[in-house]
A and B are shown apart, each in its own frame.
Chain A
Amino acid sequence: METNTQRLLHTFAALADLGQEIADTGDFEEMLRTSFHLLLGSLAIRRGAVGEYDRAGSKINMIAARGLGESEELVLPFSNERARHLASLGCSLSLNESKQEAARFLEDHNAAIPAVEINLLVPLVVRERFIGIVLLGEKASGEEFTAEDLEIVSALARHIGVGIHSHRLLEEVEHKADENRRLYDGLRTIYKETVHAFAAAIDIKDRYTQGHSVRVGKYAEIIAREMGWTDDAVEGIAIAGYLHDIGKLIVDLNVLNSPGRFNAKESKEMSRHPTAGFEILSPISHPYADIPLMARYHHERLDGNGYPDGLKGDEIPPGAKIVTLADSFDAMTTDRPYRNRLPLADVLEDFRANTGTQFEPAVVCAFCRAFLKEISGTAKEKRLMKLLGKNYDNVESVSPLLTQLISDLDGNGDFRAASAAGH
């Protein structure tokens, strides 16, 4: 085979291999090392380097080098003016310009680079942006570089420049994504803290129900987790619990703190709070779905006798059904001005009596399962029992009631039919 043809085939193969290497962006370091070998090997060049330009630091980082002395990890100062100059020359500079730039580079950095022969400097420019440089020493043949050699080197250098540029873009995108994630997490934290502050404000206003909103949020969270909701949805239902009574902020303070049962006028005033809560929460962009709806519908009943809209069965959002039960459980297990807290057995009896009319059977069932798991010690934490506090002792005694309720709910799709049969 004629020498020129063989030489051409050898360099063409290098260019083809380099193109493939750049396209595979899996490992930047590997891509760079392989590209550097292909560049030197295409013309059997004995020494050289690829430097990446750092505009912010006005420096060149030698990211691949051979034969430039002991230290292959060179960082050299490089002015923005020089960078602009090389960007204007681009990859298509003449052989003389390439030699002159190499000589100037050596002159500028003679203290950092030992006395080695660097014959060519090729700027790496992508879309008129200066990316870095390629430095090349002598060929193994000892022959001078030709204009044809420079064309080959420039073609390879363009590929390397694109590879570095793509890697930088990818890093920038990843950096931006990380930054956005941090900002989002920060906003979410601020949102949660604000919600907690609101919950505290609601509960402070109503002196008879202090801590109610936070407890409802936590009961709702326990129920939703037992029902297999996703982590995100569980977080959302907890927030809905914290905010379900936010509408009470507009309820007359005298009504809210009325010591006895509400009269008709007071009841009417109180019944405004779900709609008011909805109106307060609706303009806010919540990171969870349906928070305003859960506040609006937490006094709805399956049989349609609830308020404010008298929704029935599946018209009520699932989250609102959970908040309803959590709200009722806390109301029954805390002292009110007109009555003391109920014994747990009575609470469960209330659940039994009202499941299917007021409460959703699946929600009651999930609540009972979670409660039973805590009593039997199979739950990781005893969150529900901690929330009940020391006001209830001998909680274990309700285990048979819970078991029976679960059995009734699980074993018969129509719970009211089961209740009527005498369970």
Chain B
Amino acid sequence: MTDSTGETPVQARCIGDTAIIYASDYLNKLSGERIERECKRQLESGCRALVINFRDTELVNSIGVSILMGVINASERNNARLIFSDVNSHTAKLFEMLGLTRHVSVAKDETEALSLVDPQANAAGSTT
């Protein structure tokens, strides 16, 4: 399915003021820029925390890392918390090696990610 711009929409949902964005398998291509755009859109609309879920992402290449750098920059500019969840061990090592973990928390899964943000405030949710 594509949106009005002809792009496959990024899968995302909001729980309170936390946005959960699914990195999927297009993070490693130029099409991954739409993840960065979605993160910025969520931040501009008032999200205080972003969770990027890597459950469908087998590996992250240099393009993916660059796009995530853009998300890190945007989160820091907006004083928002950034958490990566469901990261496989290979990718987790890469993030650590490249220093991304200095700027991002890594959670085992979404539940852990949300508990890192604020368990009290994220009791109810909605999907976009």
Contacts and interface: CB of A to CB of B under 8 A. Distances in A.
Interface in B69-102: 69-70, 72-73, 93-94, 97-100, 102
A6 B97 contact: yes
Contacts of B98: 7, 10, 43-44, 139-141
B67 A37 contact: yes
Given A66-B73, A140-B72, A141-B102, A10 B94 contact: yes
A7 to B, nearest CB: 6
A292 to B, nearest CB: 57
A33 B30 contact: yes
A37 B102 contact: no
Contacts of A312: none
B103 interface: yes
A46 B30 contact: no
Given A33-B30, A44-B100, A17 B62 contact: yes
A10 B62 contact: yes
Contacts of A6: 93-94, 97
Nearest to A143: B99
Given A43-B98, A139-B99, A17 B73 contact: no
B99 to A, nearest CB: 3
> Among B61, B63, B102, which residue has the most Cβ atoms of chain A within 10 A?
B63
Nearest to A141: B99
A40 B63 CA distance: 8
B94 A30 contact: no
Size class of the B contact interface (CB-based, 8 Å): 20 to 34
B40 to A, nearest CB: 12
B65 interface: yes
Contacts of A143: 99
Contacts of B57: none
Given A34-B30, A46-B73, A1 B64 contact: no
B66 interface: yes
Contacts of A42: 62, 65
A36 B30 CA distance: 11
A3 B63 CA distance: 20
Contacts of B61: 10, 13-14, 17, 41
Interface string B85-128: 00000000110011110110000000000000000000000000
A37 B72 contact: no
Given A41-B65, A42-B62, A140-B98, A66 B30 contact: no
A384 B113 CA distance: 84
A13 B70 CA distance: 20
A343 interface: no
Contact of B69 (A11, A14, A40): A40
B73 A47 contact: yes
Nearest to A33: B30
B22 to A, nearest CB: 20
B63 A41 contact: yes
Contact of B103 (A17, A43, A67, A140): A140
A64 to B, nearest CB: 11
Interface of A: 1, 3, 6-7, 10-11, 13-14, 17, 30, 33-34, 36-47, 66-67, 139-143
Given A44-B99, A140-B69, 12 more contacts: A1-B93, A6-B93, A10-B98, A13-B62, A17-B61, A37-B62, A40-B62, A40-B66, A46-B72, A66-B69, A140-B98, A140-B102
Q: Nearest 9 pairs between A and B by C-beta?
A: A141-B99, A41-B62, A41-B66, A41-B65, A44-B98, A37-B66, A14-B62, A140-B99, A40-B66
Interface of B: 30, 33, 61-67, 69-70, 72-73, 93-94, 97-100, 102-103
